[in-house]
Amino acid sequence: MKGDISDKIILKGMRFYGFHGLHDEERKTGQYFLVNLECITNLHKAGVSDNIEDTINYSDIYQKVRKIIEGTPRNLLEAVAEEIADVLISDYPIKNVTIKISKPDLVLKGGYLDSAGIEIVRSGDIDRHENF
């Protein structure tokens, strides 16, 4: 799988309820988190074969992200995103993954925001996954 790969698997608007945050109230009552991600990977084989075994099943990605967001509370969204990136890169032939996590309808001292969040980009070793 050498060369310039720019194919993407994209999941947008995943919404999960979790208990991440620094403040006691966030840990006690929880809140919704919105997650968007893009995985750069080679989709050529699946495009030719039309076989789910030749691609990354986005339902599987969704379930892994859900387990992390709904799982062990973290102080920072950065830590949540790192865990998602680590799992996806170790489990799938991904060249790069971009993960955006936001807290919608956020109230801060003295103000109201539509959302606040983070975005990370991490690289993987696409060639170590020989099944794809």
Q: Alpha carbon of 5 to those of 50, 61, 107: distances in Å?
A: 19, 20, 40
Q: In this structure, are residues 34 and 93 in contact, taking their beta carbons and an 8 Å threshold?
A: no
Pairing of β 8-18 and β 31-40: antiparallel
103 catalytic, yes or no?
yes
Active-site pick, 8, 67, 100, 103: 103
The residues assigned a catalytic role are 103
